[in-house]
Amino acid sequence: MTVTPSSFPDHPAQAFNLVPFAQEHLTGAQRLSQEAGWPHRGEDWALNLSVSEGVVALIDNEVVGTALCTNFGDVAALNMIIVDARMRGQGLGARLMAWIIACAGARELRLVATVDGQPLYAKLGFVETGRIVQHQGEARAAAPHQPVWDGCAQDRAALAAMDMNASGMSRAALIGKIIEHGQILKTDGGFALLRDFGRGRVLGPVVARDVAGARALIAEAATRCAGTFLRIDLPEQVGLAGCVEDLGLTHVGGGTAMVCAARMQNDRNFTTYGLVSQALG
């Protein structure tokens, strides 16, 4: 959960209304994310909302809180949890969480927490599973590691199957939406998706059988984006921070991966080396 700065006076807790997140709330939601220092464009919010259920808190029809629940099969990603600073300490974050947890039902719950949000999530039963490290900057071209080629829309089912094996999340619909406007990079035993996001482009997910495949996909993306802004969000444990820093992408922050009601993990032949986003896992 992120608390945004605000110059508005405090409001009593009973002053806000919680309503389902609709298209008409996107402009207000983007204002909150901008105040929080997040780079999401209107298009980025719209992508998240298109695969999610959500809730907004309103005061006099102004958006002062947001939260989304994105159901991916047996796993729900809880995301875009933002509270306007004027509502701090009034229980709004807990109310937003209760709404989206109800949307998730009996699924495993995952999120990437900010420092502000961690205490609340811990009270709700979430436990830490690792760090997510955000790297970004002006990309530099790299020597090829192994062959990488372009995929096509007909690859969607195969990509979704690899992603499901790596993440445990059923994300065929999300992958389909990303590839409508993004690029598919493929290598032997892996793939990555490159799309417009925030200040430039983002690479994710990056899914591969081994670290060599992941390095090849990341190097190819950096080469294609050379001289322009590129971002990637890495699970810290995959150990690729040095690789992406060599490509011009500086560590600028991140978050803490947390889970609640975790399910047994099946054997995995693939690994997620880069997230779709901190919001969507």
> What pLDDT digit, counting tens, does each position of 191-247 carry?
999 999 999 999 999 999 999 999 999 999 999 999 999 999 999 999 999 999 999
Average pLDDT, the chain: 95
Q: What is the pLDDT of residues 77-95, one digit of tens each?
A: 999 999 998 888 899 999 9
Cα–Cα dist 266/107, whole Å = 16
Extract the tokens encoding 280. 């969507």
Whole-angstrom CA distances from 142 to 90, 182, 221, 273 are: 50, 21, 9, 18
Closest by alpha carbon to 192, among 278, 273, 249?
A: 273
Q: Which residues are CB-neighbours of 56 under 8 A, at least 6 positions away?
A: 18, 19, 20, 21, 25, 28, 29, 63, 65, 66
Between CA 139 and CA 126 the distance in angstroms is 35
How high is the pLDDT of residue 14? 53
pLDDT band, very low/low/confident/very high, at 9 (cuts 50, 70, 90): very low
More confident residue, 224 or 5: 224
pLDDT tens digit sequence for 99-153: 999 999 999 999 999 999 999 999 999 999 999 999 999 999 998 889 999 999 9
**H helices within 26-137, ranges in order?**
26-35, 42-50, 92-104, 118-123
Predicted TM-score (pTM) of this structure = 0.94
**What average pLDDT does this structure show over 167-194?**
98
Kindly report the number of other CB atoms within 10 A of residue 172's CB atom: 16
47-71: b (≥16 Cβ within 10 Å) or e:
bbbebbbbbbbbbeeebbbbbbbbb
Q: Are 128 and 214 in contact (CB under 8 A)?
A: no
Residue 6 half-sphere exposure, CB side, CA atoms within 13 Å?
21
Both structure tokens of 98: 């209760």
- What distance lies between CA 102 and its chain's CA centroid? 20
Among 275, 234, 230, CA closest to 248:
230
In terms of Cα–Cα distance, which of 139, 179, 153, 50 is closest to 42?
50
* Residues 6 or more apart in contact with residue 24 via CB below 8 angstroms: none
The domains located in the chain, with CATH, are: 2-125 (3.40.630.30), 133-254+263-274 (3.40.630.90)
Residue 239 burial (CB count, 10 A): 11
The alpha carbon torsion through 109, 65, 200, 157 (nearest 10 deg) reads 30
